[in-house]
Amino acid sequence: MCVTQILDFCEVVKVQFGSDESMQYLFYLLLCLILIVLQTTILPNSFGSLRFYDLIIPVAIYFSLYRPFREGFPVLLLAALAMDMISGAPAGIYLTTYIWLFLAFRQTWRFFDVKHSYFYPVLVVIGVLFQLLIFWVVISIHAGHVVFTEDGIRLVFFQVFLVVITAPFIFPFLQMFFGAADRLFPGRAIDNG
Amino acid sequence: MFSRKTMVIAGLVLIVVVNGIVFSYNYMRKSSFYPAAVETALFFIGPFQEGVSRSTGFAEKVWTRYFSLVSTAKENEVLRRKLAETEYTVHMYREEMMLNARMASFFEFSGDVAYETVVADVVGRDPSAWFQSLVINKGKAHGVRIGQPVMVPEGIVGQVIGVSGRYAKVLLIIDRNNAVDALVQRTRARGIVRGLSSNVCHFEFALHKADITTGDIVITSGFDGVYPKGLRVGRVSQIIRRSAGIFQDIEITPFVDFSRLEEVIVILNPPVIDIMDD
């Protein structure tokens, strides 16, 4: 019901103001905004001291594997800046994660056939581990010694477990979302990388 | 002119360089870019966070108020008994306060400074477990500025590190990037409270010879120029005295339950300490 209303709203806005191209970017940014709000309001209150994994990572990987560079890069750049500014983390940490994941996976699928949906949860696990690795390195540099805590290890296992459970459902959702974007704003040829 | 491979390598080098520059902004938070970027992000994301937080908060209140009435009657009885005890304690404290006031006037002591405060709702939390921050729904329009201390009646919460018109970002004392100049209330032993991004903090630089025991209360010293003197920070929960070294290894459990924070108080006119005076 709500999704239909949003799609109707996008259709009206598109007719009134925008080109397909700009509307598509707005559509993607809307998705990122929803995910950022979700993971800064509801999700942090759901698992005590543990946290859900970063929901932008599955989107970054999807952009990397299945969408053109000119679509994914600017959207992820803005999402990363928003995350950097809204969180208490050192500036640039999310930017590093998203952009490097995006670029790395774009190169990977040229050599390995990882575009099949079966691989998607594995890739998200790699993405989440990559982000945790970056966080760990930054924290250790800041602390001046290698930070190794029991809570940290528990968090890693917890997030990997969540990815394994949820990623198979996220993939069809993203397929549906990007399919809807292509149908709503068809003015732009999508070459899928 | 250039081959595709050269372009890719050049692009990657460029990204590494840009990445390094952006990272270095972490150490240049006083630059004009960082506050402006934080302000923009809070301006766009803050209202959505507030909307979602209010909705979930309302749903939670409905649940707790209407569906947990079963245990309320029993709880009410216990609370009535506690209230009677508390009334007696308050009476005793009032007597002590009056005595204190008489003594203060006797010594012409100026007493506490009244702080100007504003109460704010917590509308967003840090998405990562490694870093600890909050977004509150009061900003420049309400007098909130970067560097102001944030507290709740139980103790200090953190300090404002980013602000927009109607929202502000607060770095919690349990974050690794935060440090509070503090002292042990009983013995006045000084140290620095540093966050560990968990539910406990470290009390650093407390001398080996300092008299500190488990259960001691740690309060702000006021020397960091952020927090007023005398605010509660936490309780000493563990002490490890090593044979080597001049400092003790002390763990503090903060009085504030950071996972349940809903409202906070921002102190708008904290005392300014001019270190040059010393």
Residue A61 confidence class, pLDDT cut points 50, 70, 90 = very high
- Which of A33, A38, A41 is most worth mutating to test chain B (most B CB atoms within 10 A of its CB)? A41
Q: Provide the whole-model pTM.
A: 0.78
Residue B49 pLDDT: 85
* Residues of chain B numbered 137-156 and touching chain A (CB < 8 Å): none
Tens of pLDDT along B205-230?
888 888 888 888 899 988 888 888 88
Name chain B contacts of A76, Cβ cutoff 8 Å: none
User: Are B189 and B210 in contact, with CB atoms under 8 Å apart?
Assistant: yes
Mutation to test the B interface, candidates A6, A30, A37, most B Cβ within 10 Å: A37
Q: Ramachandran region of residue A113, left (φ > 0), alpha (ψ -120 to 50) or beta?
A: beta
Q: How many CA atoms lie within 13 A of A117 on its CB side?
A: 9
- Asked whether this complex has an ipTM greater than 0.95, the answer is no
Looking from the CA of B149 toward its CB, the CA atoms found within 13 Å total: 27
Dist. CA A101–CA A131, nearest whole Å = 9
For B37, the closest of A33, A44, A81 (CB atoms) is A81
Say whether pLDDT at A1 is over 50: no
Contact assessment for residue A44 and residue B125, using Cβ atoms and an 8 Å cutoff: yes
Highest mean pLDDT among A19-33, A141-155, B100-114, B156-170: B156-170
* pLDDT averaged over every residue in chain B: 81
* Mean pLDDT to the nearest integer, A180-187: 80
Q: What is the reported pLDDT for B61?
A: 76
Rounded distance, CA B85 to CA A180, Å? 64
Q: Tell me which residue in B34, B52, B131 faces A89 most closely, judged by beta carbons.
A: B131
pLDDT at B92 over 80: no
Nearest to A87 among B15, B34, B131 (CB): B131
Q: Which residues does B57 contact at the CB level (< 8 Å), separation at least 6?
A: B262
pLDDT score for B36: 80
8 Å CB contact of A89 and B49: no
| Dihedral in degrees, nearest 10, Cα atoms A123, A124, A128, A130 | 20
What are the residues of chain A with a beta carbon less than 8 Å away from any beta carbon of chain B? 33, 36-45, 48-51, 54, 81-93, 95-96, 99, 103, 135-136, 139, 142-143, 149, 151-152, 155
pLDDT grade, residue B171 (50/70/90)? very high
Residues paired with B264 in a beta bridge: B120
pLDDT tens per residue, range B142-168: 999 999 999 888 889 999 999 998 999
| Contact criterion met (CB < 8 Å) for B123 and A43 | no
Q: Cα–Cα distances in Å, from A5 out to A20, A34, A185, B47, B100? A: 19, 15, 16, 20, 65
Say whether A96 sits in a helix, a strand or coil.
helix
In terms of pLDDT, which residue wins out, A50 or B144?
A: B144
How far apart CA A90 and CA A96 sit, in angstroms, is 11
Q: Which residue has the tokens 């090593």?
A: B242
B251: phi then psi, degrees, rounded to nearest 5:
-110, 140
> Model confidence at B278, in pLDDT bands (50, 70, 90)?
very low
Kindly list the residues from chain B whose CB atom is less than 8 angstroms away from the CB atom of residue A39. 127
Cβ atoms within 10 Å of B124's Cβ, excluding its own:
28
In chain A, what is the straight-line distance between the N-terminal and C-terminal CA atoms, in Å? 32
| A193 — pLDDT class (breaks 50, 70, 90) | very low
Confidence of residue B198 (pLDDT cuts 50, 70, 90): confident
B126-150 mean pLDDT: 90
Q: Which residue of A has its CA nearest to B53?
A: A41
Cβ of B48 within 8 Å of Cβ of A37? The answer is yes
Q: Which two tokens stand for residue B250?
A: 């002390």
Percent of chain B with pLDDT over 70: 85
